[in-house]
Amino acid sequence: MRFFAWLRSVAAKFFRHSQTANDMDEELRLHIQLRADDLEREGLGRVEAERRARIEFGGYERYKEESHEALGGNFVETLVQDVRFSLRLLHKSPGFAITAVLTLALAIGANAVVFGVLDALVLRPLNVPDAQNLYAIQPTIQHNDWSSHSYPDYLDLRDRNRSFDGIVAYEMAPAGLYAGDRASPIWLYETSGNYFDELKIQPYLGRFFHSADEHGPNSAPYIVLSYDYWRSHFLGDPSVVGRALELNKFPYTVLGVAPPQFRGTELFFAPDLWAPLVNKEQIEGYSGLTSRGERGLWLAGHLTPGVTPAEAAADLNLVASYLAKTYPKDDDGIRFSLARPGLIGNMLGGPVRAFAGGLMALAGLIMLAACANLGSLFAARTADRSREVALRLALGSTRKRILRQLLTEAALVSLIGGVLGMLAAVLLLHWLSAWQPVPDMPINVPVNPNASTYIAALVMAVASGFLFGIVPARQIMKADPYLVIKSGPVGAAGTRRFTLRDVLLTGQIAVCAMLVTASLVAVRGMVRSLHSNFGFDPQNTMQVNTDLDMARYSGDQVQAMQRRIQDAVAAIPGVTAAGYADGIPLNLGWRDSTVFADSTTDYRPSNGAADSMEYRISPGYFKAAATTLIAGRAFTWHDDKNAPRVAVVNEEFARKVFGSVDKAIGGYFKIWGGTRVQVVGVAEDGKYKTLAEDPQPAMFVSILQFPSSSTWLLVRSRRDPQQLATELERVLRGLDAGLPFTINTWHKKLDTALFVPRAATMALGILGVMGAMLAVTGIFGMAAYSVSKRMREMGIRIALGAQRREVLQAALGRAVRLLAFGSAAGLLLGLLASRVLAFIVYQATPRDPLVLAGVVLAMSLLGLLATWIPAQRALSVDPLILLRDE
Amino acid sequence: MTDQAQLLPGTLDLLILRAVSLGPLHGYGVLLRIGQISGNALLIEQGALYPGLFRLVRQGLLKASWGTSENNRRAKFYELTAAGRNRLREETDNWNRLATAIGCALAAQPEET
């Protein structure tokens, strides 16, 4: 309705406008009529009288215009006039209009997407009440600030701090939810009892659990469903509240449903349901709630009103000193700091913020390049229109009026471009939000655009329009109508010295070359890291994830079942190797422990010999993973709980703890408060957490000696993955029909580890391509313009016998020189910027001849592409036609 | 023609107000009336009258209404509003003060300084 009202008012304005214009015409004409009548009465002929009357009246159009202005309130009318005139002009030069609009759409689209991501991940607070005051608590242990908390530490922090209203603890875990007889794997938050109360979340249905529901381990068998899970799995049935469901075959009561907007306290991870942390043992199979060294909890809380973050940090560190003094074995040197919640403390927070910020800076550069590009386009266009402008000035138009029209034209282009760019950005952001980069996990990037994204895009459109619209202003201000009309279009005189256009173009090319360099560095680093040695071979291998705990196996049953599964799978025709482990390198999540030299007796973390990755593996694992043993032996089924504890370590571990591979074999080290372990083998180094990591120590222990119920079974085969998956499913169902499991190819699981570098490479690649496109349009605009300006000169040159080479040099020499200069500058900048990239992309070294050659080649090709058409035009000049022209 | 004086900036509005104060007039009539009361001593570019008229209407010093001219054509007639009348009085006083001061200044003899 409001839209129609607005439309009506605009229409009325148009109507009234033509009414006043008609009245004004009538009034002015009457004046001239009456004057002519008087002159006729004085004895002049009618025709001569009318002529004299018109002369005496003066500039009819000018006075009419001034009268309009005097009447006031004609801002809208002038605007409408300008818009109509601008549209007509743009329609007349579609090439220019399309180039300009597309350039802007690209730039604004890219900026809107990046801003949307930045806004969602960095700027926007978590979607909980009073989010401004919510802080995550980040522990730092032995300079490692990626750590999480243990439950006993949480209880001490909760009870001893004086600066938080309350502190909640949570961790993410998988579990099996039984609906009917089949278990479906789900992801949940295990939270402290005060979670919902402290975060001030109100239930959508039913109620939440509270601190009062906790009475020791496994005392609170309650779950709260997320809104999405309730809608998708219970079809929004309200009667589910109060129902008993089986979580890992333990009965749990559904207390309620969380509100739709509440996705938990992490941005990337939307859980299916929430359950009390005190029931961790039932959910994960082990509890670790009593062990101070068992870290895995994330803490957050609202500051007490009036307490500053600095005061809170100081207060928390009083607790830290107490913990370090009282429990030196686990908490030696512990410190706490406050972090923004939502990105699991500093672990993701730092990289995500750095990356989003860097991306925003690059997108800003794209915007600048686009503005420079459009600025020079508009300047060139204004120069072409110098005759028209001169004519309008001569006919009495004011410079202000002409400038205003130019700015309107710029604003029009930027608005159209902005709307197009925004539409593309919204589509892309929605797609990004729906994207699930990790199989089997509720991880996504919630970057749905909101009002601030739209506002940012609008502001960018208007600002950029003003930026490049203002470029030709100087040309208008100093235009002298007399000179311009006398000498025709500005000739060679203007092209000799360095103009603003040249500077803009060089700057733009530099920025574009920099983007191209950065993206090539990133892509090359990515390709290299994909071909580096992982320490395993994911080819032709499947991962079967089972958690026997979810199916309520316990004690010795677990190992027996695990071995039965391995044996059954190994017997499938075509399977060449099978073996399982409690974790797979480069899968999401890992376990690491401090290891001690054999001589150590004081097991505080600062006395450790190394911090090592830890994998519990079955016999057959190395063969299934295709990890090469360098020395010693792998595990056998005899390395069980009755045999001495043994380990296989990697080369880095052997070097760091024992000095060399030879010394490691047969050597002893200690783990977990003094368990002695003998090294029986050494395996090759590999990648464990991320592709970008430096070589780090890793140890493999026998899962028969250190059991785990949640395992990944690696199945190496010669068969088609699809077929094998069906076969695997049949075999597993045959062993236990109620067993929850997931089957994936190893490659698919690797996508997770590669997600960050891939996303980074993709983003940089896209920006690089956009940079290249902008370079092409910029050079093309410049070259085409300089050729068209000098057509006549070319004609004369050709008529006087100039060779093709000379003609080309005259026509394009300048564009090529600018291109070379700008590219060199951009290459240098890009190389400097690549140092920053090295933090995200593995092996992103700019000192790579291939990258350098690639950039030079790319820029030359772009230059060739962009100057091709103008060059053809210059060469095809027919001197006769051209000289006859004008 | 040549002995006509160029108009000082800002004085056109005053002349229009004065002309209209003697009775409602259309645009051309205002021009004629100014010529008549100034003894044709002032050079006015005819078209410049209209932006002035519209400005005064917008300021609420004049009001306009459509009527019929002497040759039976539709014409817009201007007349003074109460605000216009006040403004004319103020401006006239201002002008007189200014004119007297300038007159005195220019008439001053060397020995009087």
pLDDT tens readout for residues A92-120: 777 777 878 888 888 888 888 888 888 87
CATH code of the domain containing B41: 1.10.10.10
- Mean pLDDT across A589-602: 81
Q: Do B27 and A30 touch (CB under 8 A)?
A: yes
In A81-120, at which residue ranges do the beta strands (DSSP E only) sit? none
Q: Choose between A276 and A284: higher pLDDT.
A: A276
Residue B111, chain A, CB below 8 Å: the answer is no
> Looking at the 3D structure of chain B, how many domains does it have?
1
pLDDT value at residue A648: 92
Q: Of A25, A28, A33, A34, which to mutate for an interface test with B (greatest number of B Cβ within 10 Å)?
A: A34
pLDDT for A44-63, tens place per residue?
888 888 898 888 888 787 78
Residue B84, chain A, CB below 8 Å: the answer is no
Q: Do A70 and B27 touch (CB under 8 A)?
A: no
Residue B34, chain A, CB below 8 Å: the answer is no
Residue B112, chain A, CB below 8 Å: the answer is no
Is A723 within the bounds of a domain? no
Burial readout B77-98 (b: 16 or more C-beta within 10 A, e: otherwise): bbebbeebeebbeebeeeeeee
- Given A73, A90, A106, the domain boundary residue is A73
The first and second tokens of residue A825, run together, are 């500058």
Secondary structure class of A327 (helix, strand, coil)? coil
Q: Using the predicted structure, report yes or no on whether residue B94 has a pLDDT greater than 70.
A: yes
pLDDT value at residue A143: 62
Do both A184 and A318 map to the same domain? yes
Q: Using the predicted structure, report yes or no on whether residue A718 has a pLDDT greater than 70.
A: yes
Work out the mean pLDDT of chain B and round it to a whole number. Answer: 84
For residue A151, give every residue at least 6 positions away whose Cβ sits within 8 Å of its Cβ, in sequence order, or none. A169, A277, A288, A289, A290, A291, A294, A297
- A27 to chain B nearest CA, in Å? 6
pLDDT for A738-749, tens place per residue?
777 888 888 877
d(CA A243, CA A34): 96
Q: How confident is the model at residue B93 (pLDDT cuts 50, 70, 90)?
A: very high
Q: Do A57 and B26 touch (CB under 8 A)?
A: no
Q: Using the predicted structure, report yes or no on whether residue A831 has a pLDDT greater than 80.
A: no
pLDDT value at residue A487: 56
A810 and A794 in contact (C-beta within 8 Å)? yes
Residue B61, chain A, CB below 8 Å: the answer is no
Do both A210 and A254 map to the same domain? yes
Segment among A223-232, A246-255, A342-351, B29-38 with least mean pLDDT: A342-351
Cα Rg of chain A, angstroms = 37
Distances (CA, A) of B61 to A65, A501, B11, B64: 21, 51, 15, 10
A637 and A619 in contact (C-beta within 8 Å)? yes
- B108 to chain A nearest CA, in Å? 39
Q: Using the predicted structure, report yes or no on whether residue A479 has a pLDDT greater than 80.
A: no
Q: Do B69 and A23 touch (CB under 8 A)?
A: no
Q: Which residues in chain B have Cβ-Cβ distances shorter than 8 Å to A23?
A: 76
Determine the length of chain B. Answer: 113
The residues facing A716 across adjacent strands are A541, A577
- Mean pLDDT across A31-55: 87
Q: Do A70 and B54 touch (CB under 8 A)?
A: yes
- A358 to chain B nearest CA, in Å? 55
pLDDT value at residue A699: 92
Domain that holds residue B32: 5-112
pLDDT value at residue A493: 43
- Given A668, A697, A717, the domain boundary residue is A717
- A17 to chain B nearest CA, in Å? 15
Distances (CA, A) of A284 to A68, A369, A700: 80, 53, 22
The first and second tokens of residue B99, run together, are 């004119």
Q: Using the predicted structure, report yes or no on whether residue A495 has a pLDDT greater than 70.
A: no
- Mean pLDDT across A403-429: 84
Q: How many Cβ atoms from other residues are within 10 Å of residue A751's Cβ?
A: 14
Is A38 within the bounds of a domain? yes
The first and second tokens of residue A351, run together, are 């990289």
d(CA A139, CA A316): 10
The H or E element containing residue A174 is strand A164-179
Closest chain B residue to A53, measured at CA: B46
The residues facing A257 across adjacent strands are A205, A225
Picking from B48, B49, B69, the nearest residue to A30 by CB comes out as: B69
Q: Using the predicted structure, report yes or no on whether residue A157 has a pLDDT greater than 70.
A: yes
Picking from B48, B69, B73, the nearest residue to A58 by CB comes out as: B48
Q: Do A58 and B46 touch (CB under 8 A)?
A: yes
Picking from B51, B71, B73, the nearest residue to A67 by CB comes out as: B51
pLDDT value at residue A282: 77
Do both A262 and A328 map to the same domain? yes
The first and second tokens of residue A814, run together, are 């300048």
Q: How confident is the model at residue A1 (pLDDT cuts 50, 70, 90)?
A: very low
Q: Do B50 and A72 touch (CB under 8 A)?
A: no
Is A709 within the bounds of a domain? yes
pLDDT for A629-646, tens place per residue?
888 888 888 888 888 889
Q: Do A67 and B50 touch (CB under 8 A)?
A: yes
- A32 to chain B nearest CA, in Å? 8
Residue B51, chain A, CB below 8 Å: the answer is yes
pLDDT for B62-85, tens place per residue?
888 888 877 788 888 898 899 989
Do both A752 and A809 map to the same domain? yes
pLDDT value at residue A292: 77
- B77 to chain A nearest CA, in Å? 10
Secondary structure class of A744 (helix, strand, coil)? strand
d(CA A775, CA A859): 8
Q: Do B54 and A26 touch (CB under 8 A)?
A: no
d(CA A715, CA A700): 18
**What phi and psi, each to the nearest 5 degrees, are found at residue A362?**
-65, -45
Q: Choose between A435 and A668: higher pLDDT.
A: A668
Closest chain A residue to B29, measured at CA: A31
The first and second tokens of residue A556, run together, are 């010795």
**Residue A477: alpha-carbon gap to chain centroid:** 43
- Mean pLDDT across A553-571: 85
- B90 to chain A nearest CA, in Å? 22
Do both A479 and A562 map to the same domain? no
pLDDT for A513-558, tens place per residue?
887 887 777 777 777 777 777 888 888 888 888 887 777 777 788 8
d(CA A568, CA A728): 9
pLDDT value at residue A720: 85
Picking from A27, A30, A63, the nearest residue to B48 by CB comes out as: A63
- Mean pLDDT across A585-595: 79
In A202-244, which residue ranges form alpha helices assigned H by DSSP? 227-233
For residue A366, give every residue at least 6 positions away whose Cβ sits within 8 Å of its Cβ, in sequence order, or none. A106, A107, A110, A111, A511, A515, A767, A770, A771, A774
Size of interface A-B (CB pairs under 8 A): 65
In A179-261, which residue ranges form alpha helices assigned H by DSSP? 195-199, 227-233
Q: Choose between A84 and A716: higher pLDDT.
A: A716
- B72 to chain A nearest CA, in Å? 11
Domain that holds residue A623: 541-717
Do both A712 and A628 map to the same domain? yes
Q: Do A58 and B52 touch (CB under 8 A)?
A: no
- B48 to chain A nearest CA, in Å? 6
Q: Do B50 and A63 touch (CB under 8 A)?
A: yes
Is A595 within the bounds of a domain? yes
pLDDT value at residue A69: 72
Picking from A31, A63, A70, the nearest residue to B28 by CB comes out as: A31
* Percentage of residues of chain A with pLDDT beyond 90: 2
Do both A260 and A319 map to the same domain? yes
pLDDT value at residue A494: 46
Q: Do A57 and B69 touch (CB under 8 A)?
A: no
Q: Using the predicted structure, report yes or no on whether residue A496 has a pLDDT greater than 50.
A: no
Residues of A at the B interface, defined by Cβ within 8 angstroms: 23-24, 26-28, 30-31, 33-35, 37, 56-60, 62-64, 66-67, 69-72
Q: Using the predicted structure, report yes or no on whether residue A14 has a pLDDT greater than 70.
A: no
- Mean pLDDT across A711-716: 89
Q: Do B45 and A58 touch (CB under 8 A)?
A: yes
Closest chain A residue to B78, measured at CA: A27
Picking from A27, A33, A59, the nearest residue to B76 by CB comes out as: A27
Q: Do B76 and A23 touch (CB under 8 A)?
A: yes
The H or E element containing residue A383 is helix A345-384
The first and second tokens of residue A542, run together, are 């499947």
Is A613 within the bounds of a domain? yes
Secondary structure class of A149 (helix, strand, coil)? strand
Q: Using the predicted structure, report yes or no on whether residue B54 has a pLDDT greater than 80.
A: yes
Q: Which residues in chain B have Cβ-Cβ distances shorter than 8 Å to A37?
A: 71
Do both A30 and A115 map to the same domain? no
Residue B8, chain A, CB below 8 Å: the answer is no
Is A502 within the bounds of a domain? no
Closest chain B residue to A36, measured at CA: B28
Residue B48, chain A, CB below 8 Å: the answer is yes
Q: How many Cβ atoms from other residues are within 10 Å of residue A294's Cβ?
A: 18
- A60 to chain B nearest CA, in Å? 7
Closest chain A residue to B46, measured at CA: A57
CA dihedral A29, A33, A34, A35 (to 10 degrees): 100
* Percentage of residues of chain A with pLDDT beyond 70: 87
d(CA A520, CA A20): 62
Q: Do A34 and B71 touch (CB under 8 A)?
A: yes
d(CA A336, CA A344): 14
Q: Which residues in chain B have Cβ-Cβ distances shorter than 8 Å to A58?
A: 45-48
Do both A89 and A171 map to the same domain? no
Picking from A26, A58, A67, the nearest residue to B54 by CB comes out as: A67
Q: How confident is the model at residue B113 (pLDDT cuts 50, 70, 90)?
A: low
pLDDT value at residue A244: 84
- A407 to chain B nearest CA, in Å? 26
**Residue A803: alpha-carbon gap to chain centroid:** 52
Question: Exposed (0-12), middle (13-18) or buried (19+): which is A455, by Cβ within 10 Å?
Answer: exposed
pLDDT for A294-348, tens place per residue?
777 888 888 888 888 888 888 888 888 888 888 877 777 788 888 887 776 666 6
A777 and A96 in contact (C-beta within 8 Å)? no
The first and second tokens of residue A169, run together, are 């603890």
Q: Locate tokens 């902005």: which residue?
A: A418
Q: Which residues in chain A have Cβ-Cβ distances shorter than 8 Å to B58?
A: 70-72
Segment among A328-337, A749-758, B7-16 with least mean pLDDT: A749-758
Name the amino acid, one letter, at A601: T
A222 and A253 in contact (C-beta within 8 Å)? yes
pLDDT value at residue A758: 73
pLDDT for A766-807, tens place per residue?
777 877 877 777 777 777 777 777 777 777 777 787 787 877
The first and second tokens of residue A91, run together, are 């329609």
Work out the mean pLDDT of chain A and round it to a whole number. Answer: 79
The first and second tokens of residue A868, run together, are 């091709």
Residue B75, chain A, CB below 8 Å: the answer is yes
A160 and A147 in contact (C-beta within 8 Å)? no
Q: Which residues in chain A have Cβ-Cβ distances shorter than 8 Å to B43?
A: none
Do both A793 and A671 map to the same domain? no
Q: Using the predicted structure, report yes or no on whether residue A762 has a pLDDT greater than 80.
A: no
Closest chain B residue to A65, measured at CA: B51
